């Protein structure tokens, strides 16, 4: 392989680029392949043992009759994923040493998270205001989404993602004087803010990829929502600007998708949906009941995650004019007005969560914003599942008192 640095992006889309050739987590490979690859890169300064990696991929239950063989198979898939980057790239980048695995430190890599961290710190330490803003704007442009967004529920990812997200928020908040100028009608300030927060806009836009609209058009819609957020934001709301801006950006895109035709499903997903439905019919006849996802996976050879994605994409789209049975339509229940009114409730909730003590706030964020189970939350914060349950109940009581009082 050439000795040019391999560029690795972990903020938002996970990708590796070697010259003009790249691979990213948007392809159809199983989630575990990207999980293992991301972990090897992040831990590139040390060796990783098979036991550590089995725990990472399958948890304490092992997930396989022979987990070590399963691990070898997974590394074969990871190396196959890397091979497009150069001749035998997979075997060059990931080495086996004394029974353990290690990322080859002789091949230079450039990680966006390292550059993002460096720019944020350079801005904070800059002596002039102009240099400070310049570095912070460069950092904000790098933030295309949360750290390993598609792996956000993995235990080892959660604290790292929180670190970079908080660093990004602090950087954005440091541009509050610019925000005030933009609210007052300064177009140059507004354009500068938009440039600085392009990562935030793209992180929302990516949620709507694959719906028959060009990504650049979606980005322009997101920018329109962002500008509306700038014009409507008031620091008196008591929340971060990004918290206020996200539903505005998403609302502008959803409004366009609602008014400009139905969601389009890719041909690949449609074909996969047909394979799954055929397998479902066969299994229903054979078993006399609805098959489980694991049974469908065994019948089709597809990963459980791929089956879930295909079935979600091929599900019938509910009409916004559908009667919900109470004299209301779906549009009335989730329309744009409802979204913006609901924002006030979201802001009140954010304030209430911010008033919790550190441990209660951490449990609420992991359980309800990251979607972790009580058991996984316990493993993240280093307490028992019973303690998590008690902390959660206490936190919910405090939230209820604040929101109702």
Q: 50 versus 401: which is more confidently predicted?
A: 50
Confidence of residue 184 (pLDDT cuts 50, 70, 90): low
Q: Decide: 102 and 17 in contact? Cβ < 8 Å.
A: no
The pLDDT mean for the chain works out to 78
Structure tokens of 37?
A: 């690859």
Q: Report helix, strand or coil for 9.
A: strand
pLDDT in tens, 210-259: 777 788 888 888 888 888 887 777 766 656 677 778 888 888 888 777 65
pLDDT in tens, 122-138: 988 888 766 777 788 78
- For residues 142 and 1, state if they share a domain: yes
Using the predicted structure, report yes or no on whether residue 360 has a pLDDT greater than 80.
yes
Other Cβ atoms within 10 Å of 304 Cβ, number: 14
Residues 6+ apart with CB under 8 A from 5: 108, 109, 110
Domain that holds residue 374: 355-404
Residue 207 half-sphere exposure toward CB, CA atoms < 13 A: 16
In a domain, 199, yes or no: no
Edge-first strand order for the sheet with 15-18 is 21-24, 15-18, 6-9, 109-111
Using the predicted structure, report yes or no on whether residue 312 has a pLDDT greater than 80.
no
Range 286-291, long-range pairs (CB < 8 A, 24+ positions): none
Give the integer Cα–Cα distance in Å for 374 and 394.
Answer: 14
In a domain, 345, yes or no: no
- For residues 123 and 43, state if they share a domain: yes
Closest CA to 261 of 218, 319, 219, 221: 319
**What backbone phi and psi angles, to 5 degrees, belong to 183?**
-65, -30
Confidence of residue 342 (pLDDT cuts 50, 70, 90): very low
- Bin 143: left if φ > 0, else alpha if -120 < ψ < 50, else beta: beta
Q: Specify the CATH number for the domain of residue 300.
A: 1.10.10.10
Using the predicted structure, report yes or no on whether residue 328 has a pLDDT greater than 50.
no
pLDDT in tens, 32-84: 999 999 999 999 989 999 999 998 888 765 555 688 888 999 999 999 999 99
pTM value is 0.51
- For residues 397 and 292, state if they share a domain: no
- For residues 160 and 13, state if they share a domain: yes
Specify the pLDDT at position 366. 79
In a domain, 323, yes or no: no
In a domain, 280, yes or no: yes
Specify the pLDDT at position 344. 44
Specify the pLDDT at position 280. 83
Q: 287 versus 100: which is more confidently predicted?
A: 100
Instruction: Report how far apart, in Å, the C-alpha atoms of 65 and of each of 33, 68, 248, 299 are.
Output: 19, 9, 49, 20
- For residues 126 and 63, state if they share a domain: yes
Q: 259 versus 94: which is more confidently predicted?
A: 94
- For residues 305 and 369, state if they share a domain: no
Q: Which of 125, 155, 174 is the last residue of a domain?
A: 174
Specify the pLDDT at position 330. 39
Confidence of residue 148 (pLDDT cuts 50, 70, 90): very high
Q: Report helix, strand or coil for 327.
A: coil
Number of domains in the chain: 3
- For residues 91 and 157, state if they share a domain: yes
- For residues 11 and 158, state if they share a domain: yes
Q: 46 versus 263: which is more confidently predicted?
A: 46
DSSP string of 337-351, one letter each residue = HHHHHHHHHHHHHHH
* The three-state (H, E, C) secondary structure of 115-158, written as one string: HHHHHHHHHHHCCCHHHHHHHHHHHHHHCCCCECHHHCCCCCHH
- For residues 309 and 364, state if they share a domain: no
- For residues 33 and 150, state if they share a domain: yes
Q: Report helix, strand or coil for 142.
A: helix
* % pLDDT > 90, the chain: 21
């Amino acid at each position: 392989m050439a000795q040019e640095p391999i560029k690795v992006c972990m903020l938002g889309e996970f990708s590796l680029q070697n010259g003009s050739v790249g691979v990213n987590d948007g392809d159809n490979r199983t989630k575990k392949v990207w999980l293992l690859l991301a972990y090897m890169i992040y831990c590139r300064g040390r060796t990783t043992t098979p036991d550590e990696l089995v725990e990472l991929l399958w948890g304490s239950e092992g997930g396989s009759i022979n987990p070590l063989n399963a691990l070898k198979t997974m590394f074969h898939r990871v190396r196959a994923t890397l091979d497009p980057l150069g001749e035998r790239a997979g075997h060059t980048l990931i080495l086996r040493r004394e029974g353990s695995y290690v990322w080859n430190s002789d091949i230079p890599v450039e990680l966006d998270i390292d550059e993002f961290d460096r720019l944020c710190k350079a801005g904070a330490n800059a002596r002039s205001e102009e240099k400070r803003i310049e570095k912070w704007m460069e950092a904000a442009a790098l933030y295309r989404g949360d750290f390993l967004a598609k792996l956000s529920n993995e235990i080892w990812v959660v604290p790292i993602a929180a670190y970079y997200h908080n660093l990004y928020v602090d950087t954005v908040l440091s541009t509050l004087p610019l925000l005030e100028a933009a609210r007052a009608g300064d177009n140059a300030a507004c354009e500068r803010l938009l440039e600085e927060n392009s990562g935030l806009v793209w992180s929302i836009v990516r949620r709507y990829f694959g719906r028959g609209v060009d990504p650049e058009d979606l980005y322009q819609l997101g920018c329109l929502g962002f500008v509306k957020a700038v014009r409507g934001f008031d620091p008196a709301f008591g929340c971060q600007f990004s918290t206020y801006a996200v539903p505005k950006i998403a609302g502008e895109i959803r409004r366009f998708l609602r008014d400009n035709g139905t969601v389009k499903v890719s041909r690949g997903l449609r074909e996969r949906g047909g394979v799954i439905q055929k397998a479902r019919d066969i299994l229903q006849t054979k078993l006399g009941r609805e098959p489980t996802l694991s049974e469908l996976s065994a019948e089709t050879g597809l990963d459980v995650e791929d089956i879930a994605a295909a079935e979600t994409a091929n599900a019938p789209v509910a009409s916004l004019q559908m009667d919900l049975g109470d004299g209301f339509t779906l549009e009335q229940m989730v329309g744009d007005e409802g979204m913006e009114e609901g924002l006030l409730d979201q802001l009140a909730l954010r304030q209430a969560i911010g008033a919790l003590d550190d441990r209660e706030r951490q449990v609420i964020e992991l359980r309800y914003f990251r979607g972790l189970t009580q058991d996984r939350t316990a493993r993240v914060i280093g307490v028992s599942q019973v303690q998590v349950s008690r902390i959660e109940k206490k936190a919910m009581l405090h939230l209820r008192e604040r929101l109702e009082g």
